[in-house]
A and B are shown apart, each in its own frame.
Chain A
Amino acid sequence: MLRTGLLVSLVAAGIGLAGTAHAQQKTVYMPAILELSGAGAVSGTNFRDGMLMAIDEINKAGGILGHKIETPVLDTQSDAGTSRAQLQKVLDNNPYVVFGPVFSGSVLVTQLMTLKAEIPEIVGGEAAAITQKNNAYVFRTSFGQQFSMPKIANYIHDSIKAKSVAVVWVNNDFGKGGRDNFTKEMKDRGINIAADISTEVGQADFSADVVKLKGANADAVFVYLNEEESARFLKEAKKQGIKAPLIGETTLLGQKVIDLAGGAAEGVQGHVGLTVDAPIKAVQDFAAKFKQRFNYVCDHNGIKGYTGVYFVKYVTEKIGKFDSKAFAEKAHGITITPKDEPGILMEAMWDKNGDIDRESFLGEVVDGKQKIVKTLPMLSKK
């Protein structure tokens, strides 16, 4: 009797606690569901810190339409089931919009729910599938793989003039998605895939992969790995003397990888979607402030979080009220320039699927720094 009673009250207390109501006084509730632990912790933490900066700036300046932003950040443990639970928790409290998650699998499960609840979801995921489901409530903060891969492909085709290419990818949903999109683009351009090398998350030894690469003798190598693995791979490639140009997408040219690889990243080139090294003053100022506050170098996820908040602020001020449905309607097809909203950092446009369009860059690692060699125009301005 006592036992059961105790258990019951524990359960009730637990669920009660979990559903704590939020204050409604002149605040707007825009929670975030992010990967703060587990495999995605680096991405999630960057995204969160970027958001925090934007939120503090906005709140200090009086908030959105006079409302302070209230953004609790809930950890998904990088797991789809937990993401669903946490999203349900915030949906129960009637959010205006929801931020995150970054992992594509978690986005796929949560976007079904935000669609049903008609709450806009500002996601960090890059899988192509996210915006191919006719979902009017999902908005990206960076290129989907279906947009970034053609840019890489053009670069390999037009600038490197490669006839064959090897792909090294990390075997998770991020890597697999990138690899599949990349392979398709290569086929479309008649470029042969000489080697298709899958690697594991947390892999220590890349010698076998580099040996295979050497055997394949491709004109270029496309590397699509997470940060630490990128660095380990670059070290091994340098050691074994890979001559073919190493091409990457965003991560491979990031400052973090350059630092971790300690010299082995020299000469790496590729496409950068979002980077703190962009030749744009606003971005560099943001990066400096970020570094000062959080004591590490922000990656593209930090910029995604930061600009995502300003995206919400701008659209909300355009519609003049906190109305989730009106937000979703207004945000499709909107273009935001830094002149209108400095916090957006770079001109950005959201299309009818929620995909984002921005300028992006071709870069190269020179003297331990990412150097931007060319700015690619927005797709819609071609």
Chain B
Amino acid sequence: MASFIQLLVSGLATGAIYALIAIGFTLLWQTSQTINFAQGEFVMLPAFFVLAAMNVGAPYWLAALIGIALSVVVLGVLFKAVIVDPMMRHGVLPLVITTIALSLFLKESVKDFYSSQAQPFPAPVAPRDLHFLGAVVSLQSVVVLAVAVLTVVALHLLLNKTRLGRCMQATAQNPTVARILGIPVGRMVLYTFLINGALVAIASLLISPIYLAKFTNGEALGMAAFIAAIIGGFNQVRGAILGGLILGVLDNLSAAYLSSQYRGAFPLVILIAVILFRPQGLLGRVEERAV
């Protein structure tokens, strides 16, 4: 039992990070039909912004702020202006190729201009372990979970309780109608890119102390976020959260009780099952196809 709780708690902590990454992924899809295959690299990169800032003498809190700011600018504004905007009207696939190339570009740049070696990354909290029903949880995991939940709640409030949020939702659901209603669609789309830039930076700050900063980190993270987004529902923020948590827990349970060699397979099988039998995702809404 203790071990089951251990698996559950650790899985939730890891899953919360997947969820953070997955949310941005779904946001971009909803507002701009961008399937961002560089999302994992987007999480890898801010850690290096922070490390670079600390190397020139910035204290952790300042470096973290610089990291988030740079991430919002580079991965939010620049990404949208330079890559997504010119390509949006050409459909999904050319943009998919571009984000795949972008992921290679980011990985190689970090490797060549920073280091190929994994780097230790400062933790926002002291390394302490908490005991809980026979399971051990690091304080860090609890903080990760808390920050993730807070971020998601804040995002939920923004999207549902503010005028701005409702405009963004309208843009996501039907850009044409939104435009007729006088919503500045372009700006709303930009906001989702900014939010994604901030989310990946937060995810980076949270996961790098555990995961260590390395140029290849994005590969596994991006895949996990991708699976989480689809299981939960590709067009719903809430779904991405559920998907992330499910994935984190499922990963642990299947590795512990089923097969460690095939641990990567279970989430994929579930993903296929979800798409075939509930293509809108566990919490997603039904999409109608334009004929």
Contacts and interface: CB of A to CB of B under 8 A. Distances in A.
Contacts of B221: 204
B211 A204 contact: yes
Contacts of B224: 204
A101 to B, nearest CB: 16
B127 A212 contact: no
Contacts of A208: 7, 10, 251-253, 255-256, 260, 263
B149 interface: no
A201 B3 CA distance: 24
**Which of B7, B117, B251 lies at the interface centre, i.e. has the most chain A CB atoms within 10 A of its CB?**
B117
Interface stretch (B187-195, B212-220, B232-240, B278-286): B212-220
Contact of A200 (B14, B17, B212, B263): B263
Contacts of A138: none
A127 B127 CA distance: 38
Interface in A252-309: 256, 259-260, 262-263, 296
Interface string B202-236: 00000100111011110111001000000000000
Interface in B118-168: 118, 120, 127, 129, 136, 138
Contacts of A240: 6, 136
Interface stretch (B56-64, B75-83, B93-101, B108-116): B108-116
A239 B211 contact: no
Interface string A185-213: 00000000000011111111101110110
Given A211-B3, A296-B115, A204 B253 contact: no
Given A209-B255, A211-B256, A232-B210, A241 B118 contact: no
A228 B255 CA distance: 19
Interface string B233-262: 000000000000000100111011000110
Nearest to A43: B116
Contact of B219 (A198, A202, A209): A202
B116 A42 contact: yes
A232 B212 contact: yes
Contact of B210 (A171, A204, A227): A204
A205 B251 CA distance: 9
Interface in A25-60: 37, 39, 41-42, 45
A14 interface: no
Chain B interface residue number, banded: 35 or more
A228 B214 contact: yes
B117 A42 contact: yes
A215 interface: yes
Contact of B260 (A39, A45, A209, A214): A209
A235 B129 CA distance: 11
A231 interface: yes
A171 to B, nearest CB: 6
A155 B126 CA distance: 36
A204 B117 CA distance: 17
B234 to A, nearest CB: 22
B212 A256 contact: no
B264 interface: yes
A45 B212 CA distance: 19
B264 A200 contact: yes
A204 B21 CA distance: 14
Contact of A41 (B111, B127, B136): B111
A226 B116 CA distance: 14
B183 to A, nearest CB: 39
B255 A239 contact: no
A156 to B, nearest CB: 22
Given A42-B117, A42-B118, 7 more contacts: A171-B261, A204-B14, A205-B251, A207-B10, A209-B260, A211-B7, A212-B260
Interface of A: 37, 39, 41-42, 45, 171, 197-205, 207-209, 211-212, 214-215, 227-228, 231-232, 235, 239-241, 256, 259-260, 262-263, 296
29 contacts: A42-B116, A42-B117, A199-B260, A200-B264, A202-B219, A204-B221, A204-B224, A205-B14, A205-B252, A207-B6, A207-B10, A207-B11, A207-B252, A208-B10, A208-B253, A208-B255, A208-B260, A208-B263, A211-B6, A212-B260, A215-B3, A232-B211, A239-B138, A256-B117, A256-B118, A260-B118, A260-B120, A260-B212, A296-B115
Interface of B: 3, 6-7, 10-11, 14, 17, 107-108, 111, 115-118, 120, 127, 129, 136, 138, 207, 210-212, 214-217, 219-221, 224, 248, 251-253, 255-256, 260-261, 263-264
Would you list the 6 A-B pairs with minimal beta carbon distance, nearest first?
Answer: A207-B10, A202-B220, A208-B255, A208-B256, A208-B252, A205-B14
